[in-house]
């Protein structure tokens, strides 16, 4: 019981903490896990970490985008950082609370609205990949969610060629799918470019389940090819017409 109380107090302290920078766990390999709060210095750190998203998706990420994202974590979540042996920030798992999505509805049998922790931004600088940074950040965030009484964890990753799906799967997250296939959604990256993503989840309570939303696409569970694209109903001159999206 004292171990559980100590863990609960530890992760509750992290939840309430808004320090500019704080190291919470020292690892045996000399690296550490900490959090970053909102500051001009940390905007620059986050900007560097976000460049891996720019590399992967072709997004233009500038300092203003980094500033906006760091403020979002300050107000609606937490930014977990993996520091190497020299104290350099090399990996991130930015999480947000009660984030909505357009494809999967998470529900509880007692009709309450489940409390969620969403992996909003999970990435490692390219030259530091393969060292277990994301794996450690994911496990730390799972304990953070569990001891702070979140109902479930979920994440969104690429439908194909995902860099993180297997890491999250090894941590216990499962792909959200039903009898029809994988529940997917189209995510625009720029005005002309986008891709399909899937959701993964890890329930932390026993009475949870999920359903496909009306706006979801469906992908084949084996080939990952899109079987059904979602249909968006739009109002037109007093009636409705259907637009097949993506």
Opening angle at CA 4, ends 1 and 208, nearest 5: 115
Contact (Cβ atoms closer than 8 angstroms) between residue 99 and residue 116 = yes
**pLDDT value of position 230:** 60
**pLDDT value of position 60:** 74
The two tokens of residue 8 are: 């609960």
DSSP per-residue string spanning 1-50: -HHHHHHHHHHHHHHH---SEEEEEE-TTS-EEEEE-S-HHHHHHHHHHH
**pLDDT value of position 153:** 98
Instruction: Give the DSSP H/E element, type plus range, for residue 76.
Output: helix 63-76
Predicted confidence (pLDDT) per residue in 21-41, tens digit? 999 999 999 999 999 999 999
**pLDDT value of position 104:** 97
Predicted confidence (pLDDT) per residue in 55-68, tens digit? 666 667 899 999 99
**pLDDT value of position 61:** 85
Task: Write out residues in the chain with pLDDT < 50, as ranges.
Answer: 232-246
188 HSE (CA, 13 A, CB side): 5
CB neighbourhood size of 68 (10 A): 11
**pLDDT value of position 194:** 81
Contact (Cβ atoms closer than 8 angstroms) between residue 204 and residue 172 = no
């Amino acid at each position: 019981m004292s171990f559980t109380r100590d863990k609960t107090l530890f992760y509750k302290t992290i939840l309430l903490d808004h320090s500019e920078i704080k190291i919470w766990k020292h690892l045996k390999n000399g690296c550490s896990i900490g959090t970053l709060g909102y500051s001009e210095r940390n905007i620059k750190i986050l900007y560097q970490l976000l460049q891996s998203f720019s590399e992967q998706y072709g997004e233009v990420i500038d300092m203003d985008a980094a500033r906006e994202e760091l403020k979002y974590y300050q107000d609606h979540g937490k930014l977990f950082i993996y520091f190497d042996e020299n104290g350099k920030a090399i990996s991130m798992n930015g999480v947000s609370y009660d984030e909505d999505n357009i494809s999967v509805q998470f529900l509880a049998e007692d009709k309450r609205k489940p409390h969620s922790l969403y992996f909003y931004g999970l990435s490692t600088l390219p030259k530091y990949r393969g060292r277990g940074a994301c794996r450690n950040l994911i496990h730390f965030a799972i304990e953070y969610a569990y001891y702070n009484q979140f109902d479930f964890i979920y994440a969104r990753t690429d439908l194909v060629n995902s860099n993180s799906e297997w890491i999250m799967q090894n941590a216990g997250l499962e792909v959200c799918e039903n009898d029809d296939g994988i529940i997917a959604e189209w995510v625009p990256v720029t005005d002309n470019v986008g891709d399909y993503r899937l959701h993964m989840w890890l329930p932390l309570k026993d009475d949870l389940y999920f359903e496909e939303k009306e706006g979801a696409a469906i992908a084949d569970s084996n080939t990952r090819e899109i079987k059904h694209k979602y249909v968006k109903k739009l109002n037109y001159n007093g009636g409705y017409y259907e637009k097949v999206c993506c």
